[in-house]
Amino acid sequence: MLAEALALSAALFTIGVVGVLIRRNAIIIFMCVELMLNAVNLSFVALSRYYGADGQVFVFFVMTVAAAEAAVGLAIIISIFRHRKTVNLQNINLLRG
């Protein structure tokens, strides 16, 4: 049972990573980050069955942070869109040194 749960978690995480790496739309990348967070949550929950409830407590923390992040992140993305009329990350390189 654990093996299947962890495999699913790994698969979701990998999809998330690949999505972050290859997609250009900021909202999709954002959703992929959420996917990675939830993949981790899945492995926490799966492991908590064997090692006690600590993992489930962590999940709540992660979900709280993810909620906060979603609020801030979406606000930033909207702000960027208002200035640039795009959310394609290829066109946004304000960090260039």
Binding residues (CB under 8 A) for other proteins: these are: 17, 20-21, 24, 89-90, 92-97
Provide the terminal-to-terminal Cα distance of the chain, rounded to the nearest Å.
49
Among candidates 40, 41, 43, 57, which has minimal Cα distance to 3? 43
Q: How far is the CB of 16 from other proteins (least distance, A)?
A: 11
Q: Which is nearer to other proteins, 7 or 57 (CB)?
A: 7
Q: Which is nearer to other proteins, 66 or 89 (CB)?
A: 89
Q: Which is nearer to other proteins, 24 or 49 (CB)?
A: 24
Q: How far is the CB of 79 from other proteins (least distance, A)?
A: 16
C-alpha atoms less than 13 angstroms from C-alpha of 5 in its C-beta half-sphere: 14
Q: How far is the CB of 6 from other proteins (least distance, A)?
A: 15
Among candidates 3, 75, 66, 81, which has minimal Cα distance to 36? 66
